[in-house]
Amino acid sequence: MSLLHIVKAVLLLFSGLAFITVIAPPRPAAEGKRPVYKGQLFELVVRHLARLACFGVGVVVFSHTLLLLSRRPDLTKGPLDAWLCPRPTAPLDTLAGFPPRFLAGIAVATLGCLLRAAAYWAMGSLFTFEVVIKDDHTLVTTGPYSYVRHPSYTGAVLILLGTHLIHFGDTGFMTHCKHGNPPVLALDYMWRSGTIFAVFSLARRCSVEDGLLRERFGKIWEEYQVDVPYRLLPYIY
């Protein structure tokens, strides 16, 4: 185990903890409020999907970290290789590398975490995991909401993109260790399909939430839409 192995392990653990912190449902489902929107499948499974994503990322980060920290210079194979990565597509020392894709993934995921955390902070008790308008709802236009109307979703998409770059790149655990490893192979398919499903569902949510807020706040919301015309990305969308 070298210094590079330790640094890579620390970055992986940081990215995994950050992912779980901002993707895990922050509080119980809204109760006793105006009806939660359930017009698409995503709304029925969003909490389960988030928990499954956190579990999957946690498993991958933990496995990759164990492989790195169990490396010994006097052994060609580590004690956990046969269990965690039975048929690697490249020498496992490759997992300790720092290619541009990995570093970009760390940067993008960190940006997404910070943006989503800022959205939590700006919304406070109004933030919910479901689409719901509370009785005491106010229109939040400060912080990241002064740049785009749905910054928490922007953050979520950046986190998903960054996490994919980290774990599916040239030095990613998912790239090198899914062959001959049925649980990891299944996780690979679930991650790819789940990510696509989540991104399209969040895009759909944007228009739904805009409609509910327009109905609740009327002209105030319309003025906000003029001031902040972009849903997710400034000057793009």
Number of CB atoms found within 10 A of residue 235's CB: 6
* Residue found under tokens 């005491």: 136
| pTM of the model as a whole | 0.89
pLDDT for position 16 = 96
Helix (H, G, I), strand (E, B) or coil at 175: helix
Q: Residue 128, by phi and psi: left (phi above 0), alpha (psi -120 to 50) or beta? A: beta
- Provide the 8-state DSSP code for 149: S
pLDDT for position 1 = 62
Q: Using N-to-C axis directions, what is the helix angle for 182-217 and 41-69, rounded to 10°?
A: 140
Distances (CA, A) of 193 to 49, 168, 182, 225: 11, 14, 17, 32
pLDDT in 10s for each residue of the chain, 237 residues: 678 889 999 999 999 999 999 999 876 655 545 656 777 888 888 889 999 999 999 999 999 999 988 876 554 566 677 788 888 888 888 888 899 999 999 999 999 999 999 999 998 877 877 787 777 788 999 999 999 999 999 999 999 999 999 999 888 999 988 887 888 899 999 999 999 999 999 999 999 999 989 988 999 999 999 999 999 999 898
Chain-centroid distance of CA 204 in Å reads 18
pLDDT for position 94 = 86
- Please state which CATH number belongs to domain 3-227: 1.20.120
pLDDT for position 117 = 93
Are residues 131 and 86 in contact, defined by beta-carbon separation less than 8 angstroms? no
pLDDT for position 180 = 79
Encoded tokens for 66:
């164990």
